[in-house]
């Protein structure tokens, strides 16, 4: 049996499902690009530098260069905070005083337990040194990474198994079907695996970029190929 033998109702349901998958996949790329670039609109394909900032740079610096960039007064503010962290983020000295003043002016309006701002984040206050220091470590913490990894892996696996099984019953060559199925799961696994260890091995950001791209490309390719095959006379 192949996918062409399904009735019109089944083909319609599968086609609508794949359109949802295509839209969701493209939307995820748009969202990631906006978050990493600090832009407000458009398709911004993440660069190696932006991915490196996200996974190997101190959290607060990565946010100031990415999603929170619009709230930063100047690029010099980012470099001052980075320099303070590079020196050990000590609670003393000129860099400490300058950095805390920058964080107070650029960040604390929203990052405050008492903030009334529309985009306030009271759960992540930056009002005291002890609160700020928690976000000066490179990359994501293991608890945050574990949370994100299991959510992503469960979510991706749920729709990916459906797409790959549908693709397995298309009429394309076996090598094409096998290659794209392995690429989609392999890309997803290596992408997420690299999140964990890129702050220890910086070169893994290239794996994040390439494997994330491979996963997206294979999902879109399978979806379009299924649509082409399922309605082919």
Q: What is the pLDDT of residues 103-112, one digit of tens each?
A: 888 787 777 7
Task: Name the residue with tokens 């299924």.
Answer: 226
In angstroms, the first-to-last Cα distance of the chain is 16
* Residue 110, phi then psi, degrees to nearest 5: -100, -40
Task: Name the residue with tokens 């089944």.
Answer: 10
Write the CA distances from 43 to 33, 46, 49, 53, 67, integer angstroms: 7, 9, 17, 19, 15
Q: Compute the residue count for the chain.
A: 233
Q: Kindly give the residue spans of alpha helices, DSSP state H, lying in the chain.
A: 8-37, 48-56, 59-65, 75-86, 94-106, 129-132, 142-168, 174-197, 204-230
124 pLDDT more than 90: no
Closest CA to 121 of 129, 131, 61, 138: 131
> When comparing pLDDT for 53 and 225, which is higher?
225
Closest CA to 161 of 142, 140, 191, 181: 181
Task: Compute the distance between CA of residue 92 and CA of residue 69 in angstroms, rounded to an integer.
Answer: 26
Q: What is the DSSP letter of 87?
A: T
pLDDT at res. 231: 92
Task: Compute the distance between CA of residue 124 and CA of residue 47 in angstroms, rounded to an integer.
Answer: 27
| Mean pLDDT for the chain overall | 86
Range of weakest confidence among 74-88, 136-150, 188-202: 136-150
**CB-based contact 194:211 (threshold 8 Å):** yes
pLDDT at res. 78: 86
Angle CA 21–184–228, to nearest 5: 55
pLDDT in tens, 42-56: 788 888 887 877 777
Closest CA to 233 of 11, 71, 9: 11
Q: Which residues contact 180 (CB under 8 A, 6 or more apart)?
A: 167, 218, 221, 222, 225
Statement: the pTM of the whole predicted model exceeds 0.75: no
Tokens of 110: 């929203």
138 pLDDT more than 80: no
Q: Which residues contact 135 (CB under 8 A, 6 or more apart)?
A: 58, 59, 60, 63, 124, 126
Task: Name beta bridge partners: 138.
Answer: 58
């Amino acid at each position: 049996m192949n996918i062409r033998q399904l009735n019109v109702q089944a083909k319609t349901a599968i086609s609508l499902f794949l359109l949802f998958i295509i839209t969701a996949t493209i939307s995820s790329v748009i969202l990631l690009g906006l978050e990493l670039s600090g832009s407000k609109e458009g398709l911004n394909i993440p660069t190696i530098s932006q991915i490196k900032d996200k996974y190997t740079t101190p959290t607060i610096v990565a946010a100031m260069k990415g999603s929170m960039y619009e709230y930063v007064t100047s690029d010099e503010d980012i470099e001052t905070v980075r320099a303070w962290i590079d020196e050990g983020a000590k609670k003393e000295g000129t860099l400490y005083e300058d950095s805390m003043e920058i964080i107070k002016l650029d960040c604390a309006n929203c990052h405050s337990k008492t903030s009334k701002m529309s985009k306030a984040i009271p759960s992540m206050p930056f009002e005291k040194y002890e609160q700020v220091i928690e976000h000066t470590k490179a990359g994501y913490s293991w608890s945050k990474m574990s949370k994100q990894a299991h959510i992503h892996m469960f979510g991706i696996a749920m729709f990916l198994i459906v797409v790959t099984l549908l693709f397995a019953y298309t009429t394309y060559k076996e090598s094409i079907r096998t290659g794209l199925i392995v690429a989609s799961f392999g890309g997803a696994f290596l992408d997420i695996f690299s999140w964990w260890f890129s702050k220890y091995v910086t070169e893994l950001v290239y794996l994040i970029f390439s494997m994330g791209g491979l996963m997206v490309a294979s999902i879109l390719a399978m979806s379009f190929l299924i649509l082409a095959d399922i309605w082919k006379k």
